[in-house]
Amino acid sequence: MEFAIAAFVTLLVVVDPIGLVPSYVAVTHDMPAPSRRGVAWRASLIATIILAGSALAGDWLLRTLSITLPAFRIAGGLLLFSIASEMVFGVRVTRQTVTAEQALDERVRNVAAFPLAIPLMAGPGAITATVLLSGRSTGDPLHLSMLLGVIVAVMLICFGVFLIASRIGKLLGATATSVASRILGVLLAALAVQYVIDGVRIAMAG
């Protein structure tokens, strides 16, 4: 149960559904309601498939590339800390909005795949976190099942947030969204540091 809770908190913070609201609104503002729902559903499905694939094949990929789990934990922790710092200083939301605007300017047809699913929902941070969590499961089928369930749950939360994105944007406003993003960033930074500490401890013990 502790593994499931840790996995849920980690992925929820990394994916940051509330933080995705401005980007989702930006790429779907000129679409009718049925189309917006379709984009939300496709983006959530694509991101789920990507993260589930990372959970199932991530450990195999590390072994194939001869990368030890402690090394990946340290590298992944540093990457997650970078994302956390962007959240704390407000850089991530700005970059997400710019990415969404560029997608509109270039008239990307399937905004569900880009930029929503990739790289906003299932970006490098989420994929790294998923592989790290998969490594922590040590191949235990129960833990892997929990991780897959957590991925589905987080993506369903994203889907639900997208459905009420316009209401959330009006309710929270820019200030509340910014404050929430920074609080989540601090939490993610602490998780990232813990990944680095665990990686260093295991590497030194080995």
Higher-confidence residue of 117 and 137: namely 117
For residue 109, what pLDDT is reported?
A: 46
Structure tokens at 148: 């897959």
For the chain, what is the domain count?
Answer: 1
Contact 200, 74 (CB under 8 A): yes
Q: What is each CA distance from 24 to 88, 103, 130, in whole angstroms?
A: 21, 11, 23
Is-above-0.75 flag for pTM?
A: no
Choose from 7-11, 56-60, 65-69 the range with maximum mean pLDDT. 7-11
pLDDT at position 192: 79
Task: Select the more confidently predicted residue: 75 or 3.
Answer: 3
What's the pLDDT at 49?
A: 96
Residue 2 φ/ψ, nearest 5 degrees:
-60, -40
Query: C-alpha dihedral over 141, 147, 153, 158, to 10 degrees?
Result: -150
- Let me know: does 114 contact 103? Beta carbons within 8 Å: yes
Q: What pLDDT band is residue 112 in, cutting at 50, 70 and 90?
A: confident
DSSP state of 19: G
Burial of 85 (0-12, 13-18, 19+ CB in 10 A): middle
Domain that holds residue 170: 2-205
Give the CA radius of gyration of the chain: 17
Structure-token pair, residue 162: 């997208």
